[in-house]
Amino acid sequence: MQVVVGMSGGVDSAVAALLLKRQGYQVTGVFMKNWEETNENGICTAEQDWRDVQSVCDCIGIPYYSVNFTKEYEQRVFSLFLDEYKKGRTPNPDVLCNREIKFKAFFDYAFLLGADKIATGHFVNTDEEGHLLRGVDKNKDQSYFLYMVKAEKLKQTLFPVGDLTKREVRKIAEENKLPVSHKKDSTGICFIGERNFKNFLQGFLPAQKGEMVSTDGETLGTHDGLMYYTLGQRKGLGIGGHGDGRPWFVVEKDLKNNRLIVAQGDDHEQLYSASALLEDMTWVKNAPAKDGEPIKLTAKFRYRQSDQGVTLITQGTKAKVLFDAPQRAITPGQSAVFYHGDICLGGGIIQSKE
């Protein structure tokens, strides 16, 4: 069986390819280049990642290719990423990267190469019915980022490291002398990498300074542009000398008046909400309940958050989610992802908190 592995230049996809080769599959590695520019230090991380993929594939003894998806990434992911910031929201590009690039552009390319299945280094699992299951390593489980991928595609995908912990993955890489065994995990914007985020956004969107005000309407300072802030943010506000000495937090963005609303104390009531409205609902298989019918589930509103008890009521691609306990810093633009036990059912984009 021919398996095409999406290889990032990191240790997870390297070990995924190694394990598949050991299991007797005909394995081909494919590196996706999705971003052309260098970072602020003049380094093109994609070039180093491509060299790492070549070294790993030579070490394992498998053929490899590089494919350029920069146009697809710009049109399907990055343009939407910028649009969300223009609206004052905080997007999560990783979920779009998975749906539009890894499980669309790369998926289609792999099968043109003659693949019977594709594989990735994600810490998730699936079953024969196409359910998306949490990875064994609860701290690394990536099902949150894959909730937009449909069961039909998951059935054609292998996740070789889903039953391993990160420590076990590193150990396998070290024992087999893979050149990326000690390479640090990638962070930052999907496919773009670690950046000075403020400087990066300034290159694409005009910033407009405005007032930073308390919930009582007192002007405390100036913000550098609403897009640079997210709900619940504490660092970088520059107003520590005001108030009673407790830290300040972002609780709202007033787009109409270009004002950043802040409140003092991490227990301030405006940091918390009892429910949220969602849009762009998508399910891995089928919706867990009929429209208008409440259902008890668990949910995550950010990666690595512990499961939160909720009641979900859907209405087509819209939904309302009621929290068992008040939730902190529910952020428009982020994803709410729903679970039944270890099964990731799907999710939606947070439209507003209530």
Are the C-beta atoms of 159 and 119 separated by less than 8 Å? yes
Considering the candidates 44, 57, 59, 97, report the single residue annotated as catalytic.
Answer: 97
Could you tell me the CA-to-CA distances from 325 to 292, 307, 308 in Å, in that order? 22, 11, 8
Considering the candidates 44, 59, 190, 344, report the single residue annotated as catalytic.
Answer: 190
Active site residue 57: no
Tell me which residue of 138, 27, 148 sits closest to 93, measured CA to CA. 148
Phi, psi values for residue 187, rounded to 5°: -135, 180
Active site residue 97: yes
Looking at the annotation, which residues are catalytic?
A: 97, 190
